[in-house]
Amino acid sequence: MKFNHPMIRVISSGKYAPPTLITNEDLEKLVETSDEWITTRTGIKTRHKATDELTSDMAVKAALNAIERVNYDASKIDLIIMATITGDQSTPSTANFIQAKLGLVHEVMSFDINAACTGFVYGLEVAASMLQTGRFRAALVIGAETLTKVVDYTDRNTCVLFGDGAGAVIIEPSTLDRHQAYFFNAAKGDLHNTLTVVNKIKMDGKKVYQFAVDAMEQAIRKVLEDAALSPEDIDIIIPHQANERIIQSVSKSMGIPMEKFMLNLSEYGNTSAASIPLTISEYFDQNDTKNKKILLVGFGGGFTWGSAILQL
């Protein structure tokens, strides 16, 4: 089957993480764990915690960071897609609050997506497809989470993993072939409660690990095949920041050097839908991104998994 690949330009990227930190030493006081145990099994040293901010507040700060990076005319934004599992409330959508807090009084289509940790990649494909209709000028795609409000700090297996943060990108349609974007997103309904958030996060870590390694490999291979590219053609792979061991396993089995994967989970931990856009923004901070090809890959509860290749 032949797909029509949307052509989009990534205009800017932004991030925000609240200043309060939860260190491994802090967690040692709450549950039976240690800095050495957490670091060797996950690669995480700290994670950020929102104390007096809503998910929408963090999302707005990431969006403003993206807007201010390139002095973008926010009046051009007419589509906001927010990926989150920890929205401000059930309804209205958190994206509606973001629109209001950004002061966008013109007509904007805004809505939330819940695809767990793959949410941002899902949202990016939806936004890219909608831009191709010609009805929208620019999309603001955000991933933001306040996971610390749903963490069970008596569960030593999950409380060490999760933190809060936000990342955002601004994209516009393009007419240039080099801006073709490639996506692969999929889901497999999980009725076994392997990873759920009802009141608090509950997870079967071993099953999630096994799923994650297979899903990441499949998503990377699928999107590379679709784009007729090899790993050598990609400048950087930005994976969902869940566990360093998962990424190391994928690196080894696929023969892709770890240097090709950008990691920051030592500082942020797992920020679910925020993790990939937050890392994209750090890539923008640290590199000349002109003409770079980036591969995004995520996996999450649901189960969901997905990938994207973008030409910056």
42/63 Cα distance (integer angstroms) = 29
Active-site option among 96, 114, 185, 240:
240
Q: Which residues make beta-bridge pairs with 256?
A: none
Given a contact cutoff of 8 angstroms between Cβ atoms, the answer to whether 164 and 49 are in contact is yes
For the question of residue 240 being annotated catalytic, the response is yes
Q: What strand order describes the sheet that includes 304-311?
A: 182-187, 304-311, 293-300, 236-239
Given a contact cutoff of 8 angstroms between Cβ atoms, the answer to whether 197 and 22 are in contact is no
* Residue 161 three-state SS: coil
Question: Within 10 A of 288 (CB to CB), how many other CB atoms are there?
Answer: 8
Amino acid at 300: G
285/53 Cα distance (integer angstroms) = 24
For the question of residue 117 being annotated catalytic, the response is yes
Give the number of C-alpha atoms closer than 13 A to the C-alpha of residue 89, restricted to the C-beta side.
4
Active-site option among 24, 117, 179, 243:
117
Cβ contacts of 26 within 8 Å, gap of 6 or more: none
- Catalytic positions, written as ranges: 117, 240, 270
